[in-house]
Amino acid sequence: MTIPGPAQTVETAGVWRTLDASANRAAEAIRVLEDALRFMLGDAHLARLAKAIRHDLAVVLAAAEFAERIRLRDVAGDVGAGVAATRTPARATLADLLAANAARGTQALRSLEEFSRLVVPAATPVFEQLRYRLYTLERAAVTVVVSAERLADVRLCVLLAVGSSGKGFASQLNQLLAAGVGMIQLWDKAASVPLLCERTRAAVAAARRQAEASESPRCLVIVNDRADVAVAAGADGVHLGADDLPVPLARRVCGPRLLIGRTAHCLNEVQQAVLDGADYLGIGPCFPSATKGFASFAPAESWLSSSKISWPAF
């Protein structure tokens, strides 16, 4: 990368030392994130994204225009070097570790962005882009940890049509709950919104009764396509396809509590769903469908295993 030479009017030792400290903090934090994603989550996709951010940062800092920061480094004279935090927040979980280092990295990049304006303004937009990339990576990394914990007891997701008679729907629902199904997705393209709301409320209530009676984890109730119905009827989440509301917009409707699933037909869609903030993936197609046509049917495990995505997937 070639960056125009530094402006000589504001080139002070303090600015360069600030850039040096911020550069070191950013690189260290991103390395911790990369190691956690690689060795603890085993997520090749997210680890590659972290590595790319770290590499792009190193390229900028290796430019000749930034050589001043190392020459003016003064660890012994740093008045903040011996100042310890009065209280270091506990990091009891992987999510804590990821969030803490993502915050450290984004704050350091913001400092690089602001102080570089004084001496190497051409680098400022690069630091800004790296900061936004790290924000996206943070959301994806924390989401996978939290979602995996929430869905840890779910081994099977069953699609249940809501368009059958009331008795038929209740009978099928109760059989699934009695069998210990971990997640039910209410699905029916032809169902009216009032009917979908009614059946969703009934399913949530039945799942709660079953959990209380059996003292077991409650079955999660997911609404297909309709984020508004999921929120209004008190469901646990919504599942979206390629032609439905995009995940980021659905998150605005659903808020942080509701799960958002996303159908993925190929590796690119898997990776995009991850970055968009989906909580879990609906993989496929693996078999012919009576409602949709697909050109091919690749076994989902083939590309999920090769991508080493650590997201919950059904």
Coil/strand/helix, residue 176: helix
* pLDDT tens, position by position, 101-144: 999 999 999 999 999 999 999 999 999 999 999 999 999 999 99
Coil/strand/helix, residue 121: helix
For position 193, what pLDDT does the model report?
A: 94
Give the number of other Cβ atoms within 10 Å of residue 210's Cβ.
Answer: 18
Domain boundaries, the chain: 13-149, 153-307
Per-residue H/E/C for 273-291: HHHHCCCEEEECCCCCCCC
Q: Measure the N-to-C terminal CA separation of the chain; round to a whole number of Å.
A: 43
**Which residue, 314, 305, 263, is CA-closest to 45?**
305
* pLDDT tens, position by position, 276-303: 999 999 987 777 777 666 666 656 565 5
* Helix/strand number for the chain, H first, E second: 11, 6
Confidence category of residue 75, pLDDT binned at 50, 70, 90: confident
Q: Which residue has the tokens 């030392």?
A: 17
Confidence category of residue 194, pLDDT binned at 50, 70, 90: very high
Q: What pTM value is reported for the model?
A: 0.84
Q: Give domain 153-307's CATH superfamily.
A: Aldolase class I (3.20.20.70)
Cα–Cα distance for residue pair 28/22, rounded to 1 Å:
10
For position 189, what pLDDT does the model report?
A: 85
Cα–Cα distance for residue pair 281/240, rounded to 1 Å:
10
Confidence category of residue 9, pLDDT binned at 50, 70, 90: very low
